[in-house]
Amino acid sequence: MSPQVQYYKHGRLRVSGGVLPEAFTAYRTYGDPQNPCIVFPTCYGGKLNSQEYLIGDDKVLDPRKYFVVTFALFSNGESSSPSNTPAPYNGPYFPAVSYEDNIRAQYTVLTNALGVKEIFCVIGFSMGGQQAYHWAVIYPEFVKRFICLCGSARTSNHNACFLEGPKAALVASKDFDNGHYKSPPDHGIRAFGRVYSAWAYGQTWYRQDQHLYDGKYPDLNAFIRENWEHSFLAAWDANDMLTLLNTWRTGDVSIIRDNGNLKQCLGNIKAKGLVMPCKTDLYFPPEDNELEVEFMNGRARLVILDSVWGHMAGGGSNTKDTDLIQKEVKAFLQE
């Protein structure tokens, strides 16, 4: 059984785009607080319950051995978001939130509510991986290890261009109404899901010699409608999607303290790192990570997932890739 979601109330919180008068962070904890702490934040499209593919007695994040804390990003619908914030900061009036805002809020939860003295490891997939990098930069004395799965230290221009596609499909829809919609803008959310789906996978499911999802879907349109349109329609608010997208798009560890000098920023990281991209990832290609690991001067190790699953290889999409991730993570945690 999953642990209960807990909420930390920050009160008035200053963020990159303004203020939130009653901000809160949603989180879950697994295991004994006396054990080494592992932080596992959410990704884009992720909720707290989606983190459990790596958490469990027989998994690499074993609550019998570690104190695992999962955090919901601001704007994911569980922590403070456009959809759950009262006027005057509701909906399209919700301020922009950065990765740094998220990490500083999570640090407050760990130190004030949970009594954590140091983080043994931060691990994350996609936007979670970007948060792992940010943790290592913002709190260099607090974080001992970090693991980035299919993410990066800086959102590349290529990645940002992709993000403009689903964003444009949503905001240009006939029912979005500049974020002032009175009911869910289904047309826009469906369009967003369709544009997003084309980039999520590498070669699998689109290869001519493979059946879609092992025969689960009769054709490509059914796959997109049931897997991508439905997932966003069922669980996401449109303004939440856009605000969180902006956090992803503007991610860059080097602007925090090194004036945009990525090489200098990563060279100053003290934590040991494990960086695991997928060779067919169209969001975060491994070439970006190769350069990042080079900048960290031997403190990080690169392991490329040889998978056809693209970006989703790091998010628990298939047993083979998840097993390899667990093997590499377990070895890294034991070093």
CATH number, domain at 234? 1.10.1740
Whether residue 311 is contained in a domain is answered as: yes
Domain boundaries, position 103 = 6-156+250-334
Residues 185 and 218 in one domain: yes
110 close to 103: Cβ distance less than 8 angstroms: no
Q: pLDDT (tens digit, 0 to 9) for every residue of the chain, 335 residues total?
A: 789 999 999 999 999 999 999 999 999 999 999 999 999 999 999 999 999 999 999 999 999 999 999 999 999 999 999 999 999 999 999 999 999 999 999 999 999 999 999 999 999 999 999 999 999 999 999 999 999 999 999 999 999 999 999 999 999 999 999 999 999 999 999 999 999 988 777 665 555 445 556 667 788 888 889 989 999 999 999 999 999 999 999 999 999 988 999 999 999 999 999 999 999 998 899 999 999 999 999 999 999 999 988 999 999 988 999 999 999 999 999 99
Which one, of 272, 282, 274, 291, lies nearest residue 313 by Cα? 282
Q: What global pTM score does this model have? A: 0.96
238 close to 170: Cβ distance less than 8 angstroms: yes
According to the model, what pLDDT value does residue 205 have?
53
According to the model, what pLDDT value does residue 203 have?
60
According to the model, what pLDDT value does residue 214 have?
62
Residues 231 and 242 in one domain: yes
Residues 187 and 300 in one domain: no
Compute CA 142 distance to the chain's CA centroid, rounded to the nearest angstrom: 21
Measured CA distances, 318 to 5, 200, 250, 283 (Å): 26, 14, 29, 18
Residues 172 and 290 in one domain: no
Q: Which residue has the tokens 């693209």?
A: 310
Whether residue 54 is contained in a domain is answered as: yes
At 160, list the tokens. 């940002």
Residues 122 and 238 in one domain: no
Residues 79 and 123 in one domain: yes
Residues 257 and 123 in one domain: yes
**Domain C-terminal end among 246, 271, 302:** 246
Whether residue 279 is contained in a domain is answered as: yes
127 close to 42: Cβ distance less than 8 angstroms: yes
At 20, list the tokens. 């939130």
According to the model, what pLDDT value does residue 202 have?
63
Give the span between the Cα atoms of 184 and 217, in whole angstroms.
26
Catalytic residues: 126, 281, 311
Could you tell me which residues come within 8 angstroms of residue 8 by beta carbon, excluding any fewer than 6 positions away? 24, 25, 27, 105, 108, 109, 112, 113
Whether residue 259 is contained in a domain is answered as: yes
